[in-house]
A and B are shown apart, each in its own frame.
Chain A
Amino acid sequence: MNRKKEGIAGLMFAAPWLFGICAFMFYPLLMSIYYSFCDYSVLRPPVWIGTANYVDLFHDEVFWKSVGNTILYACVSLPLGMMFGVGLAMLLNSNVKGMAIYRTIFFIPSLVPMISLAVLWLWMLNGDYGILNTGLQSIFHIKGPNWLSDPTWSKPALILMSVWGVGNAMLIYLASLQDVPTSLLEAAELDGAKAWQKTVHVTLPMISPVIQFNMVMGIIGSLQVFAIPYVMFPGGSPARSAYFYATYLYDNAFLYSKMGYASAMGWILFLVILILTLGALKLSNKHVHYGGA
């Protein structure tokens, strides 16, 4: 069989996938650009309205409120999650008896389905009977806040919950920590480096590609936060303090039948994530060390 025929055969085998990606990825993607310039309710043919959706978005207070909430959530939950992830991975990388059990314990929460997690936390964060406030009261004699019904505390509650799911990232950090050459750590030790110096100057640079990867994934994930706030804070209540970008996008698309407006929101989110990801990659490239490079 010549190479041309091989190519055709290969493409034939890949045809279902090619069809899938064209029909379910590229086509909707391209159409959503068009719809973002239309009034489109899904049930009726779109009507071209130019840039009206984009202009409306920039004058939409709820849009800006959701942007603000999302940025605040991402700015706090992302670094917090990374710090916890790296910290836990370092602790779980030490040589202690029963380490496999500890690792399992810290990983298990990330396996809980999101909706179950939301329901579980609804009870844990309950202002009067929740385990969190009961603990604060009995241990520290502090009256805990109304996590779920006070606009000031709804976002901190969600940020706190986000830390619960660091298990996946922790596992990736742990794998990379085990790949840090012991020779480098020994060399640093011979040069008189203390534990902190070894961490900062050897361990962290060696796992920096993994940190970078988790950061990029974290940026994408935190800007698209949806399921948990959607279940725990219907309509972003109280007073839209927990109304996030993806929730507003969903409401526009499926509740208000404004698919054109939602498409415009989708493209803005895409561009923001793209810029932030490229920026993060560019910035962190200076600090990322690749062993093979």
Chain B
Amino acid sequence: MFKLNDFLIPGLVAVVATALVCSEIRADKSDPPGPVRVSVWVGWAGFELEGFQAVVRDYNKSQNHTFVDLLSISGNGTKTLVSASAGIPPEISLLGGPEMLQFASAGALMPLDDVYRETGIKKEDYVPAYWDLLSYNGKTWAWASTPATIALHYNTEILKKAGFDKPPETIEEMDKMMDKITVLKEGRMKMSGFIPGEPGWWNWCYMPYFGGKLWDGDSKITANDKDNIRAMTWIQSISKKFGASQMSSFKGGFGNFASPQNAFLDGKVAMEIQGVWMYNFINKYAPKLPWSAVAFPYPSDRPDLKGHTIVDQDIFVLLKGCKHPKEAIEFMTYVQSQPVMEKLCLSHQKTTPLRNKTPEFWAKHKNPAIRLFDDMAYSKNAFSAPRLPIWPEYEAELRNAFDEITLVAKTPTEALNTVNSRMQPKLDRFNQILKLRKEAGL
């Protein structure tokens, strides 16, 4: 008869032995002979990836001491999170702005202020709005990549047919255009002037468009700011005017974003908020579409808000604990150089984050509205998502409030009060934990 003790010690020995073998394998960190391999992870795909692949290829050919290993993966942020927590991060990862804040506030990134100093890259080289996206809490944590601003894209032909020669400048003008363009037939929407939730990537942006603030920059969430409520009241007025159900049904029939069935490319929606990248999709799926772009309208009683836009960009970060930071810095310094950055941004058909652009850059650029997108980044009304590490959760709350408002399930005041009451304790808790960690030296 077997007894438990007969198995216990040999079993433990076996487990420990296996663990030792595995850890030994893991501990063998010596590099294979040949150039140093630098891992770079990005979430780009398609033409964006191809553009960056060309940059990496050029770099690998230009020298023989470093080989950049490029990995494109969907959900790169999560993969980077897991690898960083396991202590085996890549050298460089391309993160979204809010992701960078989470990583930086958790101490997972290497601050780059000294790196910038040593490599001679200066703040003054960059467009200020894009430079701001690289920093958090007084330190610089990232390198720039291909930046974007957002504008109202409009179908010139639809507007013309409706009797409008110019795009809307104010919200009131936009309302008039929507009234004229939107077609409701037998209780169904057949065409729309503008659908606020399409594409739905920046549903919170209407609040800053009306002059609203989402937090006070310190410790107070201000989702129910009066300008925010005003913005959402305007959004709800569109639902009330054309029918929440009709609008959601109409939106439900839209095809994929990257397809000829995209509502804007298909001519179902006359005006849509989109980024500088939209040109690539117009060019691919609807090259004959008569379009142009303009800064989103402002309320007529707030001319001070003219020219507002969201600025955003994916950014390259250097992960703490990576194996070859020196070589990674060399590669990133190469990417930040003007010719390389222009090549990369041209491949994405975006503007560059650098202040100076060569005449060739403009000459080679195919996006007819590129000057507008470039200029908008200098606007005093350019804004980005709040620089809050809890922004992903805050944004989810705002998205839910936006749903409730457009479905006319709640008044804007009710919905935004709910967001405020949910997010304020979360921000308080975040700050409290930050304090706790500081005190504990963690």
Q: Indicate if the CB atoms of B14 and A15 lie closer than 8 Å.
A: yes
Q: Indicate if the CB atoms of A15 and B17 lie closer than 8 Å.
A: yes
Q: Indicate if the CB atoms of A19 and B19 lie closer than 8 Å.
A: yes
Binds B, one of A96-104, A121-129, A182-190, A272-280: A121-129
> Does A3 interact with chain B (Cβ within 8 Å)?
yes
Q: How far is the CB of A273 from the nearest CB of chain B, in Å?
A: 25
Q: How far is the CA of A13 from the CA of B289 in the complex (A)?
A: 67
What are the residues of chain A within 8 A of B339 when measuring CB–CB? none
Interface size class, chain B: 35 or more
Q: Indicate if the CB atoms of B392 and A256 lie closer than 8 Å.
A: yes
Check A254/B106 contact, CB under 8 A, given A39-B433, A150-B245: no
Q: How far is the CA of A151 from the CA of B244 in the complex (A)?
A: 12
Q: Indicate if the CB atoms of A127 and B253 lie closer than 8 Å.
A: yes
Q: How far is the CB of A120 from the nearest CB of chain B, in Å?
A: 14
What are the residues of chain B within 8 A of A150 when measuring CB–CB? 245, 248
What are the residues of chain B within 8 A of A148 when measuring CB–CB? 252
A23's nearest neighbour on chain B, judged by CB, is B19
Most buried by A among B6, B249, B418: B249
Binds B, one of A162-170, A195-203, A233-241: A233-241
Q: How far is the CB of B177 from the nearest CB of chain A, in Å?
A: 24
What are the residues of chain B within 8 A of A11 when measuring CB–CB? 7, 10-11, 14
> Does A222 interact with chain B (Cβ within 8 Å)?
no
Interface size class, chain A: 35 or more
Q: Indicate if the CB atoms of A126 and B252 lie closer than 8 Å.
A: yes
Check A239/B407 contact, CB under 8 A, given A49-B433, A256-B390: yes
What are the residues of chain B within 8 A of A113 when measuring CB–CB? none
Q: How far is the CA of A19 from the CA of B25 in the complex (A)?
A: 15
Q: How far is the CA of A8 from the CA of B422 in the complex (A)?
A: 57
Q: Indicate if the CB atoms of B399 and A237 lie closer than 8 Å.
A: yes
Check A146/B245 contact, CB under 8 A, given A3-B2, A11-B11, A237-B403: yes
Check A45/B442 contact, CB under 8 A, given A11-B7, A15-B17, A240-B400: yes
What are the residues of chain B within 8 A of A240 when measuring CB–CB? 400, 403
Q: How far is the CB of A145 from the nearest CB of chain B, in Å?
A: 9
What are the residues of chain B within 8 A of A62 when measuring CB–CB? 422
B107's partner among A12, A43, A149 (CB-CB below 8 A) is A43
Q: How far is the CA of A214 from the CA of B81 in the complex (A)?
A: 37
B109's nearest neighbour on chain A, judged by CB, is A43
Q: How far is the CA of A127 from the CA of B250 in the complex (A)?
A: 8
Q: How far is the CA of A224 from the CA of B429 in the complex (A)?
A: 28
Q: How far is the CA of A97 from the CA of B440 in the complex (A)?
A: 75
Q: How far is the CA of A23 from the CA of B422 in the complex (A)?
A: 37
A44's partner among B22, B107, B249, B396 (CB-CB below 8 A) is B107
Q: How far is the CA of A106 from the CA of B422 in the complex (A)?
A: 46
B14's nearest neighbour on chain A, judged by CB, is A15
A6's nearest neighbour on chain B, judged by CB, is B2
Extra A-B contacts (5), CB below 8 Å, given A8-B10, A126-B253: A18-B15, A43-B102, A129-B253, A146-B252, A255-B396
Instruction: Provide 23 A-B residue pairs closer than 8 Å at the C-beta atoms, listed in order of the A residue.
Output: A7-B2, A18-B14, A19-B18, A19-B19, A22-B15, A43-B85, A43-B107, A43-B108, A44-B106, A44-B107, A49-B433, A56-B429, A61-B418, A128-B249, A129-B253, A146-B248, A150-B248, A238-B248, A239-B403, A240-B403, A254-B78, A254-B81, A255-B393
Q: Which 10 A/B pairs are nearest by Cβ-Cβ distance?
A: A128-B253, A15-B14, A43-B106, A149-B248, A127-B252, A19-B18, A239-B403, A8-B10, A43-B108, A42-B85
Q: Which residues in A have some Cβ–Cβ distance to B below 8 Å? A: 3-4, 7-8, 11-12, 14-16, 18-19, 22-23, 39, 41-45, 47, 49, 56, 61-62, 126-129, 146-151, 235-240, 251, 254-257
